[in-house]
Amino acid sequence: MDNTSRVNEPVFCGTAYVKGCAAGILLASDLELSLWGGVEPQTSEVIDRHHPLSGKILSDTILAIPGGRGSCTGSVVILELLLNGKAPKAILFERREDILTLGVIVAEEIFGKTIPVVMLEPADFASILKLNGEFLHVADGHVSTQGFPNSTPPISIGQTTAEMDLNYIKLSDLDRTILNGDLGDAARVAMRIVLRFADLLGAMELMDVTQVHVDGCGYNGPGCLAFAENLRGRGGRVRIPTSLNSISVDKLLRQVQGPSDEFTLAAERLADTYMEIGARPTFTCAPYQLDSAPKFGEQVAWAESNAVVYANSVLGARTMKYPDFLDICIALTGRAPRGGPHVDINRKATVVVGVLNVRRVSNIDDSFYPLLGYHVGALAPSEIPVIIGIESLRPTNDDMKAFGAAFATVSSAPMFHVVGITPEATTLEAALTEDSDWRRVDVHLRDLLRPWEELNSASAGQSVDLISLGNPHFSFDEIRALNDLCRGRKKHKDVAMMVTCGRTVYAAAYNAGMVNELEQFGVRFITDTCWCMLGDPTIPRSQSATMTNSGKYAHYGPGLTGKSFYFGSIDRCVAAACEGISTKDRPRWLEEAMTKSGE
């Protein structure tokens, strides 16, 4: 049946991830959307300036997108939208969507608020896209341009929690003990959320994990604080080692506080609540830099998109891309669904990305890896890729960090492989299953011109007033490289240069004397928080641009700060700090690639 005839069908039948009924105007896009960094939680405006829905308002619509992408904090944003009355009336997906659906599940379990969440078959989703702007009705897993006479209203505040079918999953004695409330009410409700997520995945059992990294400790509004305090009020206490991601203020150096005293107090209160539950105040978005980083094959439960991708890909540890809120629920129970990248078969690549003619160009610098990661993420928005052709460059762990962070910004996939570099891709065959269907995509270096231009949103010749480094958090080696580049040079008086890093990395750099030397140059160090959580007054609005070496921040920054951005290597960032201006000139390696291709 062709799409034209399907559009005329009155009812589309899908899978109801979350049941309920709703009606509203359809707002649809064929491009995935990260709600965190892509949607303002207090207004529901789409602020991802690279997305086709930029400027649209999600509240009171039926939102249709293929799936989410980017940050694990999308679950926090959907909760905030639900609690402040700005959420869509329903969400339609083309494929299973874990992060945004989990946010709705948490809202239903903890606060009694919900919206329908439905997955449609790809052909039906394509037909739905053609109805953009029309009035739609949703009832559980059914979608129609007509009403459903027997539909019931969605769950409202105060209604009992959703029924849960446990026949599909094998429960251990510990699981049943927790679910019965014998280990406390916080563990009980956390187990309900874990089991509903397992049902979403189709997992048949739960498993033990050795550690958790919690991403939901950054303050995004009153909903995330209410959630954490709810668990603490129920007697919540972590059962396994738990680290904390970046928060919204700098508790250690006190360099950065919130835009208001109210915000600062709320952000610190949220961090303190998680510490009272038993989590460690690590406050870094790069937990793989800690001594507690997991080993190859270790089963863990991490949130924070770049950390998940790095853990799976570079360390060879095993974790899903866990949504915020689910991370602490797993910490409270010690149990996680056995599925996704925890299982061998789900770690295999289905896309082979061949990077061609790398050896034909010289002067490849550190800007190459974010650009390639950003491009590969767009090529494989939901599939695990394996990259061939860059092994001769011998990328470092920091290069892989930069690649993975940019990749995770535009892809929902939990990992990647690089043949000859990452531990599960000793050969191309090792990264692929023997009988799987896979496709190949070739990338010429000239293809990276498009992401270069997309991430450089500043105008040619626009002045620079801020150099932002450390998204994800800078490593010790990156601080050392920066120190070498700044030595003997003078920073422009009108340019601020700031580095965010974790507490442990800051302490190591301080003890090595690099902090003092860089501060004399004019670098300002910020711990505990990260660039995607910073705004006024740290980043005042101005007509000048921000420059960064982070593909992730160059993507999210324009929407988060209202400023235009330059993207470039660390070397070019230091040059801009000294000169007060940057250019949109291509890197030498990209210029060389364009010249050799005749463009």
Token pair for residue 226? 């209410």
Are both 215 and 326 inside the same structural domain?
yes
Token pair for residue 165? 């079918």
CA distance 532 to 544: 19
Question: Per residue, what are the HEC states of 278-316?
Answer: CCECCCCCCHHHCCCCCCCCCECEECCHHHHHHHHHHHC
Are both 303 and 448 inside the same structural domain?
no
Cβ(71)–Cβ(34) under 8 Å? yes
| Percent of the chain surpassing pLDDT 70 | 95
pLDDT at 10: 65
CA distance 393 to 589: 13
Are both 197 and 302 inside the same structural domain?
yes
Is 530 part of a structural domain of the chain? yes
- State yes or no: pLDDT of 572 exceeds 90: yes
- Which of residues 431, 452, 473 is at a domain's end? 452
Helix, strand or coil for residue 61?
strand
Instruction: Name the E strands within 44-83.
Output: 61-64
Return the CATH number at 120.
Answer: 3.50.30.10
pLDDT at 151: 61
Is 167 part of a structural domain of the chain? no
In the block, tokens 């080692």 appear at 241
Q: Among 117-121, 146-150, 405-409, which is the least confidently predicted range?
A: 146-150
pLDDT at 508: 98
Are both 45 and 193 inside the same structural domain?
no
pLDDT digits (tens, 9 = 90+) for 228-238: 999 999 999 99
Are both 100 and 226 inside the same structural domain?
no
Is 149 part of a structural domain of the chain? no
Are both 179 and 326 inside the same structural domain?
yes
Binned at pLDDT 50, 70 and 90, residue 596 comes out as confident
Are both 363 and 493 inside the same structural domain?
no
pLDDT at 1: 38
Are both 327 and 183 inside the same structural domain?
yes
Binned at pLDDT 50, 70 and 90, residue 6 comes out as very low
Domain carrying residue 477: 457-583
Which whole number is the average pLDDT over 249-257? 90
Cβ(326)–Cβ(302) under 8 Å? no
Is 418 part of a structural domain of the chain? yes
- State yes or no: pLDDT of 150 exceeds 90: no
Give Cα 263 to chain centroid, integer Å. 23
The phi and psi torsions of 202 (rounded to 5 degrees) equal 80, 20
Number of CB atoms found within 10 A of residue 148's CB = 16
What is the average pLDDT value for the chain, to the nearest integer? 93
Token pair for residue 182? 């014998």
- Which of residues 99, 125, 144 is at a domain's end? 144
Q: Which residues contact residue 178 at a Cβ distance below 8 angstroms, ignoring those fewer than 6 apart?
A: 187, 188, 190, 191, 333, 335
Angstrom distances, CA of residue 287 to CA of 37, 273, 329, 473, 587: 21, 20, 19, 9, 31
In the block, tokens 């974010």 appear at 370
Which whole number is the average pLDDT over 187-193? 97
The most distant pair of C-alpha atoms in the chain lies apart, rounded to whole Å, by 76
Return the CATH number at 574.
Answer: 3.30.499.10
Is 598 part of a structural domain of the chain? no
Are both 257 and 370 inside the same structural domain?
no
pLDDT digits (tens, 9 = 90+) for 397-423: 999 999 999 999 999 999 999 999 999
Are both 137 and 193 inside the same structural domain?
no
Are both 183 and 269 inside the same structural domain?
yes
Which ranges of 117-212 does DSSP label H, i.e. alpha helix? 122-129, 173-179, 185-201
Q: Tally the domains of the chain.
A: 4
Are both 438 and 329 inside the same structural domain?
no
Return the CATH number at 444.
Answer: 3.40.1060
Binned at pLDDT 50, 70 and 90, residue 5 comes out as very low
Cβ(107)–Cβ(79) under 8 Å? yes
- Which of residues 312, 343, 374 is at a domain's end? 343
pLDDT digits (tens, 9 = 90+) for 329-370: 999 999 999 999 999 999 999 999 999 999 888 889 999 999
pLDDT at 152: 58
The phi and psi torsions of 46 (rounded to 5 degrees) equal -75, 115
Token pair for residue 106? 């948490």
Query: Which are the catalytic amino acids?
Result: 71
